[in-house]
Structure 1
Amino acid sequence: MIKHNIRIIDIVDEAKYTKTYYFEKPEDFTWEEGAHTHIAHVGFDAGDKPNKDLVRHMSIMTLPKENKVGITTRFSSIPSEFKDKLSNLAIGDEVVLFKVGSLMTLKRNGRPLILLSMGVGIAAMRPIILAFKEDGSNIPYVININVDSSGDFIYKDELDNLVDESYKNYWISDRQGFYKKLDQLLQIEKPVFYIVGSYEFVKSNIRMLISNNVNGEDISIDKKEWSLSEFLDNSKV
């Protein structure tokens, strides 16, 4: 397994308790839109076994062409050991990056895409949106819906500047409004859905989609450890 020690090159306050960390991009490191990677604190593998409390599976919110690796994360009042250490890092400090994969690349099959995210889940959607805006071939249009009860919508200004006839954002601050909008969008013919958020958010959305005759193969989620078949089975309960 190849590990890269990478320096922090910038830290941006996105919203209350929410920061984006930009790291230098290793020369031989690349990825696709919708990718995830592992970020670990230096020394996580110093013992007989890696300290998993110092490692997190994170969405990459940048594209390779931006020449930096970005992650966005939200901090709670009682942070985990990983986030507590991360909050104390500064520009010039290092973390360890390893493994990369993508479960949410653009599906160019002539069908519209609907992106459903909760809070910082929008981090996984940003590169998908940018990749579509760069090359929209075989994708008629993309609709992005983000629900965040804080009302501090991450990347809102940037993504709103991309709106045109082929791309639309909906920023919603409550679940009731979110599901009302999703119910309206279910009238669209044969869309493909991407879902990023908490376990309960993913589960409830899959249940709603399946109950409205959306096929499982038309739903993408970003967690390898969350089996889509598990959610499909649960949707029948």
Structure 2
Amino acid sequence: MNFFEAKIIKTVKETSDTYSYIMETPEGFAWKAGQHAMFKFKDYDVADEKKERIFTIASAPEDGFLMFTTRISPEHTDFKEILLNKVKVGDVMLIADALGKFDLEMDKYDETLIIAGGVGITPIRSLLKHYAQDNVPAHRITLLYSDDRGEFAYGEFWNELKAQMTNLQLHLISDRDEFTSLIDKYAKEKLNTSEYLIAGSPGMNAAISEKLQSLGVEKDNIKTDNFMGY
């Protein structure tokens, strides 16, 4: 497997337990918004059985840098321990070729509902940053970004994005009942004229997909992106 060397240029604490790692884009490395890649350390030994991790690339090609974001809980792997307490600016991450397809289909649908939970927001940041460069006012995008603790990654990015994307309706939600209610309301109104992108844990994705289908949304109109091992 081919790996590219990506130098860390900045680390950001996004929430109380969520961190972003920003790197220079290696020469020859390319990716599309919404893709993921395998990352590993160049200069640190990992005590875990798995020496590498798959992360969504949270930056879009238009950002001009590579970024992944991960949640580090109090009980975490040695890989996460290295990220939390050892990695510093100037260190090098090794990154494999980008993979996956998780994208909007603006030519097929009138509208898009994006449902993101917690760190599942990472591919959504990438996608919306990409589409903000080519704003399509006629295609309405609604983003429901939920976090039970009310801690939302990327801070000021959302205000900048709203200023660029006149077709974006953004909801940052910490109340689970409100989250469910907004999904129900949207699906009943738009049904199959909209596409539905869901990005969260496998359990969340399955539950929301099942709920949408029970409301009459066809399975082919629902796309999911599971984050695992974050």
TM-score (norm 2): 0.88
**Equivalent residue, structure 2, for 1:42:** 42
**Equivalent residue, structure 1, for 2:211:** 208
Matches of 2:227 and 2:122, distance apart in 1: 17
Matches of 2:126 and 2:99, distance apart in 1: 14
**Equivalent residue, structure 1, for 2:190:** 188
Q: Unaligned stretches of 5+ in structure 2?
A: none
2:64 is the alignment partner of 1:67 = yes
Q: Unaligned stretches of 5+ in structure 1?
A: 226-237
**Equivalent residue, structure 2, for 1:162:** 161
1:74-93 maps to which residues of 2 (within 5 A)? 74-87=71-84, 88-93=86-91
The one-letter code of the counterpart of 2:184 is: D
**Identity among equivalent pairs (%):** 24
The one-letter code of the counterpart of 1:170 is: H
Matches of 1:149 and 1:224, distance apart in 2: 17
3-state SS, counterpart of residue 102 of structure 1? coil
**Equivalent residue, structure 2, for 1:228:** none
Matches of 2:206 and 2:8, distance apart in 1: 34
The one-letter code of the counterpart of 1:145 is: L
3-state SS, counterpart of residue 176 of structure 1? helix
**Equivalent residue, structure 2, for 1:152:** 151
Is the 1:41–1:55 contact (alpha carbons within 8 Å) kept by the matching residues of 2?
yes
**Aligned with 2:94 (options 93, 96, 100):** 96
**Structure 1 runs, 4 residues or longer, greater than 3 Å off:** 43-46, 136-139
Calculate the aligned-residue CA RMSD, in Å: 2.3
Deviations 1:102-158 (A, max 9, x none): 321221224211111111111110111122222244961111111101211112432
Size of the aligned set, in residue pairs, is 221
